[in-house]
Amino acid sequence: MASARGPCGISVRSDFSSACLIHKAGAPSNSVSGVMAVQVHRHRNKVRNGQAIRCAMATGKEQGAISTASSGDQTKGGLRGKLNKVVLAYSGGLDTSVIVPWLRENYGCEVVCFTADVGQAMVDVAKEVGADAVAHGCTGKGNDQVRFELTFYALNPELKVVAPWREWDITGREDAIEYAKKHNVPVPVSKKSIYSRDRNLWHLSHEGDILEDPANEPKEDMYMMSIAPENAPSKPEYLEIGIIAGVPVSINGRDLSPASLLAELNEIGGKHGIGRIDMVENRLVGMKSRGVYETPGGTIMAAAVRELESLTLDRETMQWKDIIALKYAELVYAGRWFDPLRQSFDAFMEKVTATTTGSVTLKLYKGSVNVASRKSPYSLYREDISSFENGEIYNQADAEGFIRLYGLPTRVRAMLEKGI
């Protein structure tokens, strides 16, 4: 599922009673840290799908870090009712940081903060810690809320969902900053820097502030993953991307895990100003929104796979793949990851890309990605056929009959119009 939007291993401020972090196996064990003293009395580690789940349950007073209302007796209800334990998709940003005391104040509950870097199932953690509810920091205007909640429905329809942005009296990010100050919650934004950012392994998005007016050009100091193309190196860099069955697996001959490969391409692409896009999108809820995205590694990967497919897929298959890709994107965008249709599309993609194996060399230069070389043992490209020189397989004289048959509907229509 599309999980919490902060990077793995993010330092979580301990202004709440418990924290649950997912980070890569072997990561430092001191990921729970902050500006307030806590006493950790229990922690355990599990490894699931290559991830270590570390839960640290904190007790004791937070040295006045939060108000009495948000740190009171959790056996009593809050202002809006009573929940026992809520797992919050926690990014470490403004919204989710203020949600922690808000949940305690309004539902009298223990808060378990869950941080992931795309794909780890939050619902598993809710079951593991015995939570009766889950929460997220999505606004009532976006698509994220739909993606979170449709996934909750699919994996555990009995979980209650708390969406503070649809309930509280906070009307905007400036109000949220004031709420954070009131409850002594340190947040990484100020009224001078009020962008809404979502970052994960794949990309970084920017919304809000001056971007809300599509007439405004983004400021250069907003970008965090890439430099301006005009400031990129004046010498191009060549990368050879190895691909097996449609999946990038290596850079310049070095085999890498998917996550490591993407992280390295993010670094390389960002250095060359690659992967910036400023777009106005049509949200699922009906409104238009403007966002700026940085996706350096993904841009390079997509270009490499697409170029190799130009060798290994025939025309009709490529056309259907493009049609399905659009619908696939719509399904994922709308939160319908667990639909049987999406699973069927995956089966189609695995079949048609089975022979998309080989390598592509790309030239990176000042924001651009251009292909320099494509090679595949399954290439449908035949130089002896495509060459301008005559060959034995393709007789150019055969083209005349083909054109006459292919153009027959055009000729018939013209004959009708001219009364022939």
- Per residue in 136-171, pLDDT tens? 999 888 888 999 999 999 999 999 999 999 999 998
Which position has the token pair 């330092």?
11
In contact, 75 and 156? CB cutoff 8 Å: no
- At residue 392, the pLDDT reads 75
Q: Which has more pLDDT, 85 or 184?
A: 85
pLDDT at 23 over 70: no
**Nearest to residue 49, comparing CAs of 119, 2, 109?**
119
**Is 308 buried (19+), middle (13-18) or exposed (0-12) by CB count in 10 A?**
buried
In contact, 250 and 344? CB cutoff 8 Å: no
pLDDT band at 16 (very low <50, low <70, confident <90, very high): very low
Least confident of 67-71, 104-108, 184-188, 330-334: 67-71
In contact, 360 and 241? CB cutoff 8 Å: yes
Report d(CA 193, CA 101) in Å as an integer.
23
pLDDT band at 191 (very low <50, low <70, confident <90, very high): low
Q: How many CB atoms are located within 10 Å of the residue 294 CB? A: 26
Q: H-type helices in 108-183, by residue range?
A: 122-129, 144-155, 173-182
Q: Which has more pLDDT, 177 or 46?
A: 177
Distances from the Cα of 325 to the Cα of 137, 152, 201, 319, angstroms: 29, 25, 21, 10
Which position has the token pair 């799908």?
49
Least confident of 169-183, 323-337, 348-362, 383-397: 383-397
CATH superfamily of 79-183: HUPs (3.40.50.620)
79-183 and 196-375 agree in CATH topology: no
Question: Is the CATH code 3.40.50.2000 the one for domain 196-375?
Answer: no
pLDDT band at 375 (very low <50, low <70, confident <90, very high): very high
Which value, in Å, is the radius of gyration of the alpha carbons in the chain? 26
The average confidence (pLDDT) of the chain is 81
In contact, 20 and 112? CB cutoff 8 Å: yes
- At residue 417, the pLDDT reads 94
Range picked from 80-84, 170-174, 191-195, 272-276 for highest mean pLDDT: 272-276
Spell out where 170-211 has E strands. Answer: 196-199, 204-207
**Nearest to residue 22, comparing CAs of 116, 87, 111?**
116
DSSP symbol at 279:
E
Main-chain phi, psi angles of 364, to 5 degrees = -100, 125
Rounded to 10 deg, the angle between the 122-129 and 144-155 helix axes is 50
Report d(CA 87, CA 132) in Å as an integer.
8
User: Residues 98-118: what's their mean pLDDT?
Assistant: 90
302: tokens are 């997509």
Q: What amino acid is encoded at 157 in this protein? A: P
Domain ranges of the chain: 79-183, 196-375, 384-418
Report d(CA 22, CA 49) in Å as an integer.
11
**45-104, pLDDT tens digit by residue?**
333 333 322 332 232 333 222 222 234 455 567 787 899 999 999 988 888 999 999 999
Task: Give helix then strand counts, H and E, for the chain.
Answer: 11, 16
**Nearest to residue 186, comparing CAs of 274, 59, 306, 100?**
100
Left, alpha or beta for 240 (phi > 0: left; psi -120 to 50: alpha)? beta
- At residue 57, the pLDDT reads 28
Least confident of 32-36, 143-147, 220-224: 32-36
Residue 417's H or E segment, with its range, is helix 408-417
Q: What amino acid is encoded at 173 in this protein? A: R
Report d(CA 379, CA 384) in Å as an integer.
13
Which position has the token pair 């292909």?
371
pLDDT band at 331 (very low <50, low <70, confident <90, very high): very high
Q: H-type helices in 167-295, by residue range?
A: 173-182, 258-271
- At residue 186, the pLDDT reads 85
Report d(CA 71, CA 68) in Å as an integer.
5
Q: Which residues are bridge partners to 162 per DSSP? A: 135
Report d(CA 19, CA 47) in Å as an integer.
17
- At residue 386, the pLDDT reads 78
Report d(CA 163, CA 407) in Å as an integer.
59
Report d(CA 387, CA 88) in Å as an integer.
61
251: tokens are 């850079």
pLDDT band at 174 (very low <50, low <70, confident <90, very high): confident
Say if strands 133-135 and 110-115 run parallel, antiparallel, or are unpaired: unpaired
Q: Which has more pLDDT, 275 or 193?
A: 275
